[in-house]
Amino acid sequence: MSIGSKITKRLVSGIATVCVVVGMVSSAFAVPPNEILRIETNQTFTNACCVFWPETVTVTEPKAVVPITVTLSTDYRSDLDAVIGISVNNHPCMTEQLVIHFAPSDGAFHSENLEWVVLPSDGLIKGNNTITLCGGVGFNGGNLTLGFNTLAARISK
């Protein structure tokens, strides 16, 4: 066997190993479809705080319930201060995130990334858990428009 043949064999073997590792890593980071929701159309909410909105994701807890991280990435416009929260398994809205009004006359949107860490004591149970977006605009109503947005829930590891 020539030196060139040995080098080629090692190179091919090395590339194959890298491909296998990359395949394993990318599948480990795949998000199950029920844990992420992407909305690509504007939705306007006119309710006062706090009601459930139609965005819901589901995360399945193992036998030992662990915290989850919920993220919302969105573009928005609001003519009043708005409150955005989450509900865990239809419990009351946990409204920790205040979105300050942003409604310029040119119709522009502002981007926001919100995150919640949900603990087992917040109502998580073994098996399926639903996380629902909730909130409202002021306490007398107003207009909050969510543009392109993504809601995701991931089990902490």
Segment 87-118, tens digit of pLDDT: 999 999 987 788 888 888 898 999 999 999 99
Is residue 142 over pLDDT 90? no
Residue ranges of E strands in 62-124: 68-78, 82-88, 94-99, 110-118
pLDDT tens sequence across 21-64: 344 333 344 556 667 778 778 888 888 888 899 899 999 999 99
* Distance between CA atoms of residues 44 and 36, nearest Å: 21
Q: Residue 15, SS3?
A: helix
pTM confidence score? 0.74
Instruction: From 110, 113, 114, 79, select the one nearest 96 (Cα to Cα).
Output: 114
Cβ-contact 152, 71 below 8 angstroms: yes
